[in-house]
Each structure stands twice: as C-alpha cells, then as structure tokens.
Structure 1
C-alpha cells in the first residue's frame, strides 16, 4: 500500500470529523450544506496531497494496518463524543 492511499483515508476521516464538530458545537448546518462542505474539503485536501511526490513510497503491511485501525477508532470515538 502506498502512502497516498493512507493519506487519502486520513483526509476522509478528518473531513467528516471536522465538519461534524462544526455542525454540533459551532453552527447547526443544513444537511445539504454539510455534505457540500465535506465534498469541498475532501477535494481540496486530496488535491493538495496529490502535489507531493513523496507519497508514492510503499508502506509495510503492519504500518498500514495500524494506521487504518487508528483512523477507524478515531471515527468511532468521535461519533460518540460528538453526539448531540
């Protein structure tokens, strides 16, 4: 697995958690606005990440498993922490 795939997964998780935090704690957004904001944030961050040439290196299987597990755990924890 390449670093780019790991970074893309982290970007997806960060975008969802960030927009959910804004929705719950800062400003109650309409669901359509929330989805558009998530899409824009994901597209912008992935475009920014794609400019880096060092992301084509491969990552060991153990490292990718640990990072993916941490991202899933972070999503699950944020779901319960950010509930209304």
Structure 2
C-alpha cells in the first residue's frame, strides 16, 4: 500500500463522511476539511484522486447554497482532468 499517504487517508475519510454531511442538520465541516486536505496534498501522479476529492467539497458548498465558491472549486477539479 505504497499509495496510502496523508492525502489518501484524508480522501478516504472525506469520502466516507460526505454522505453523512448531506443529511439534514449535519455539519459538512469534517468532510470538507478532509477532502480539501486530500486535494491539496495529492501528488501529480494522482490527478484522478485529486479531481475526485475536489468535486465533493463543491457539492457540499452548493448544498449550503454558496454557489460562487462551489463553482470555483468544481472548476479547479475539472481543470485537473482537462
């Protein structure tokens, strides 16, 4: 498991907490924080992981109706994959 580093750990935890964060009354703080850490720390060899981790914070932010920030985050993820 040489690929399992801090970015992978935060990505796994962020993806796991993503669905819970979408439930009514739940905070998205942990999922967003973990996914942003994963996005920032994934190496260039893991562009796919970085892009996947980058789309979910945008979804959480859109769910909270902060559309301008969500679009910016989602665009960065899309730019990663061309």
TM more than 0.5: no
What TM-score do you get using the length of structure 2 for normalisation?
0.40
Bigger RCO of structures 1 and 2 (CA < 8 A, at least 6 apart):
1
Bigger CA radius of gyration:
1
Structure (1/2) with the larger helix percentage: 1
